[in-house]
Amino acid sequence: MKILIACVGNIFLGDDGFGVEVARALSKRQLPETVSVKDFGIRGFDLAYSLLDPWDGVIIVDALPRGEAPGTLYVIEPDRSAAADTAINPHGMDPVRVLNLAASMGTISARILVVGCEPHDFGDELEGRMGLSSPVQGAVEEACNMILQVAATWRVNSAKLETVER
């Protein structure tokens, strides 16, 4: 089972760099051969094309404001049936728009989940901010554990399915 962990974010906008920090933390861990971690940063077009590759599962990692306490982690399955808005900012990334863009270019065969972290702030509107806030930085290792647990569950379920089919 091939799994892509697609980490996104802008390191110049404070907590928006969450996905990038998760990619850095995961790069220090021993991962199964079937799991690939890629830091897409703000390269939405690259992610859209990667989503068209034959992955079994994709976990997108990003800052995700949902109104909870900063550092709160979420696992969400995005609604891929939503109206396709493919307008994309080449200097920014909205994962839902990237999914819609990829779907407009071809077939996404993978199951997709988003692991998101509630941001604290993105810095000054004009100047941004380098580095994660304390609560978001504190959630990075927990997010790594959560992501690897989801990936392991997918691999175990895939192995059970292969055993049943044989």
Angle between helices 44-51 and 95-105 (to 10 degrees): 50
> What CA–CA distance (Å, rounded) separates 17 from 41?
8
What integer is the mean pLDDT of 131-136? 96
Neighbours of 96 (CB within 10 A): 15
What's residue 88's pLDDT? 52
What integer is the mean pLDDT of 29-48? 90
pLDDT class of 164 with cuts at 50, 70, 90: very low
SS3 of 43-107: the string is: CHHHHHHHHCCCCCEEEEEEECCCCCCCCCEEEECCCCCCCCCCCCCCCCCCHHHHHHHHHHHCC
pLDDT at 89 exceeding the cut of 70: no
Higher per-residue confidence, 91 vs 74: 74
60-69, pLDDT tens digit by residue? 999 999 999 9
φ/ψ bin of 89: left (φ > 0), alpha (ψ from -120 to 50), beta (otherwise): beta
User: In the chain, what are the domains?
Assistant: 3-165 (3.40.50.1450)
pTM score of the predicted model: 0.84
